[in-house]
A and B are shown apart, each in its own frame.
Chain A
Amino acid sequence: MNPYYILDTMAISAGVHKSFDCTDCHNSEYKTYPHKSDLKLQPLSTCLDCHGGDASFAKYKFEEIEKEFKKSVHFKVYGEYFNCSKCHSQHTYVATARNSTNVLDIVDYNNKMCLSCHNDMKKYKLVSGHANPKLVVIHDWLPNQELHFRHVRCIECHTEVRDSLMVSHNILSKDHASKKCAECHSANSKLKASLYKYQNLQKRTEKGTISSLLTNSSYTIGTHQSPLLKLLSILIFLAVLSGIIIHSIFRIIKKKK
């Protein structure tokens, strides 16, 4: 049997739609098993059919996500055929970025969405019609590649940051991906507006650790210094400098006498 047709019931019961019956979305004929093969060809409701224009989902901003997605390379190249479920499985989706306390979990979950096609020859070719480029090879220029892949999401470089959305959905074509180290490794790091913008996440991680004292985001060279140490170093530097200036003034006065 086609493995893609078998659903992991454990994963469903952990997902956002766990309280649903299959037939809430699918035709009632799905109650018979095995399902008739032509059932799969029946059109299904789209995400927006339920989530759009509903005040209880307003905070998720589905309409804005839709608008952003329509600018993305996925929509531009594949059109309506490329829908939400290509990345977000309706059966098993978990809102990790909103609920996880661990940045690495968010990164891992998010990247797996991309990798499920971009690192899968069959699925990638089914959608795009050509072979998938080798990720390790095309990211060859990126220093510490493995570390980057584990600690930041693909979308950090491959989307345009949009402040009003939790997760930017405008996935850019590869020519527009950011390739400048300083966009993240700077005081004005892009990551602050993307991966680390989940303030609730920061609050969650602060609990019971010394991280709140030292830092509240993850490591990007330097910039990510703890504010406490930064202040301390400026004070020490100024103290040393004034010491030297005072000492020199005394030496000059003494010499003139």
Chain B
Amino acid sequence: MGTSEKIYFYPLWLRIWHAFNALGILTLIITGISMQSSFETAIIGFNTVVNLHNIAGILVFISYLLFFTGNLVTGNGKYYLMKIKGFFKNLTKQGTYYAWGMFHGQKSPFPLSEKRKFNPLQKISYLLVMYFAVPIVIITGIALLFPEIIIDQTWGLSGVFLTAILHSTMGFLISIFLIIHLYIASVGKSPLDNYKAIISGWHHL
């Protein structure tokens, strides 16, 4: 592997956004789990945890607005576009590579380049997280910040309860995404390579 085989994949603004977002989401997950389990004698009290969760939530909301408008305004959005043709075939191809191919010396079916930053599995998971789970978690989160705006009763259930269930379900899915995201990142040139890349910006091909 020579130095020529690397691309400046992640510009500074992107790395800063990624780090900011990651910290916010980590805080939300930790405080979220803490509230879920509501340890009565937590290291930091319940009130503090709730406040932290609220503040981190608002910061991640702002961060999401930056992400959303940024992808509309700059060219960064194009990396997320997926081809309809062969949609499932491509996903299976990438999945098979992770489960089988990479252990049998096969080359990645969608090698990354200047034009392709994400493989199809990355694209679909980023799309689902950033354009489905995160918006829902933000909307329900804002609703829970102002619970008086939520409908009182639906289908014989408390509206606040349903909103909270939706909020924590999406939060859970985002946490699961994070675990897989962190693990898959170790499948690189070397196990630590991708982690270094998101800090330095340079990705080894």
Contacts and interface: CB of A to CB of B under 8 A. Distances in A.
Interface stretch (A17-25, A166-174, A205-213): A205-213
A223 B36 contact: yes
A182 B46 contact: yes
B40 A186 contact: yes
B39 A186 contact: yes
Given A185-B38, A219-B164, A225-B168, A144 B147 contact: yes
Contacts of B147: 144, 147
B183 A244 contact: yes
A185 B45 CA distance: 12
Nearest to B164: A219
A209 B164 contact: no
Contacts of A205: 156
B35 interface: yes
Interface string A218-243: 11011111100100010011001100
A226 B165 CA distance: 8
B190 to A, nearest CB: 10
Interface of B: 35-40, 42, 45-47, 50, 98-99, 103, 147-148, 155-158, 160-161, 164-165, 168-169, 172, 176, 179-180, 183, 187
Interface of A: 143-144, 146-147, 180-183, 185-188, 205, 208-211, 214-215, 218-219, 221-226, 229, 233, 236-237, 240-241, 244, 247-248, 250-251, 254
29 contacts: A144-B147, A146-B148, A147-B160, A182-B40, A185-B38, A185-B46, A186-B38, A186-B46, A187-B37, A187-B38, A208-B156, A209-B155, A209-B156, A209-B157, A210-B156, A214-B157, A215-B157, A219-B158, A219-B161, A221-B35, A222-B38, A224-B161, A226-B165, A240-B179, A240-B180, A244-B179, A247-B98, A247-B99, A254-B103
